Amino acid sequence: MSLSIRKWKLYVKMYYQYILSYKGVQQATFLDDNTCLDFIIQNQKSFIRFGDGEFDILEGKSIHYQKFSTELRERLDQILTEYVESGTSAPYFIGMPAFYLNQSGKFMWHSRLLLSCWSHTRYYFLKYYDKKVKYGDAFLFSKGREPNYKRLWDNAHLGQVIFVHNKKQYAEHFEKQYGISTTFIEIPSHNAFTQMDQILIKIMASLRSKDKKSMVILSAGPCGKVLAYELSKKGVWAVDTGHCWDQPLFNMSGD
């Protein structure tokens, strides 16, 4: 009985958030891929992606590969709040799931999965972060947008890439495919945020001479957002690419 009451409350909350966020974004604008890449490259802005998983944590929930912590929630909110307040003067650029935020809620009505994944994200974004600022698209490096990788690497004129991931073979493939000197830093596949400080120390220790332009590529879940933020504050160029490596660089895990 208690389980059914709990489910009922969750459904009520979901539909409440769906209704209040039905109109979609009211003030924020989203840059298209080309404009976003130009902005990142020309200004050497770090890129930080937010998706439904990060918004789950902002709401006090865990996700399957990152346990909730108050510190992580505060850090994620700090990243967004500072960005909204400073706009394009921040050393980093935020990517949001534009497709799921920009349109009316009609597209979700016949899918309980979409409702459960995106009602809370839309509601939370509209309530706190839908301001007159510009965002990129969190799916900038998703499947079907593979040319965005090459354009970024070719135009950035990099001397070194530090590749932060939980599997070394992705870094090896990246170095072979793009011909860029790549240093691999391994992170846990789950709860990487608990080792965030140690990971940051390893990244900073791996940076070479400032004569060569370096970029840190992060595939580290919510921890990657905080890492990109900290690196941007230190003048290090970081790009949070998310799960993209399982798609354009094919699945090398053997799973």
pLDDT of residue 143: 79
Residue 150 has pLDDT above 90, yes or no: no
pLDDT of residue 20: 94
Least Cα distance to 138 among 33, 27, 248 occurs for 33
- CB within 8 Å of 63: residues ≥ 6 apart: 53, 56, 57, 221, 222
Residue 243 has pLDDT above 80, yes or no: no
pLDDT one-digit tens code per residue, 27-50 = 999 999 999 999 999 999 999 999
pLDDT of residue 239: 96
pLDDT of residue 253: 41
pLDDT of residue 245: 53
pLDDT of residue 188: 96
Distance CA 63, CA 252 (A): 23
- Contact criterion met (CB below 8 Å) for 126 and 19: no
pLDDT of residue 209: 64
Give the pLDDT band of residue 254 (cuts 50, 70, 90).
very low
pLDDT of residue 147: 85
Q: What is the mean pLDDT of the chain?
A: 90
Average pLDDT on 61-72 reads 95
What is the percentage of the chain residues whose pLDDT exceeds 90? Answer: 73
pLDDT of residue 158: 87
Torsion over CA: 178, 183, 188, 193 (sign): negative
Angle between helices 221-233 and 70-86 (to 10 degrees): 50
**What does the buried/exposed string (b/e) look like for 17-37 if buried means 16 or more CB atoms within 10 Å of the residue's CB?**
bbeebbebbeebebbebeebb
Instruction: Name the pTM for this structure.
Output: 0.91
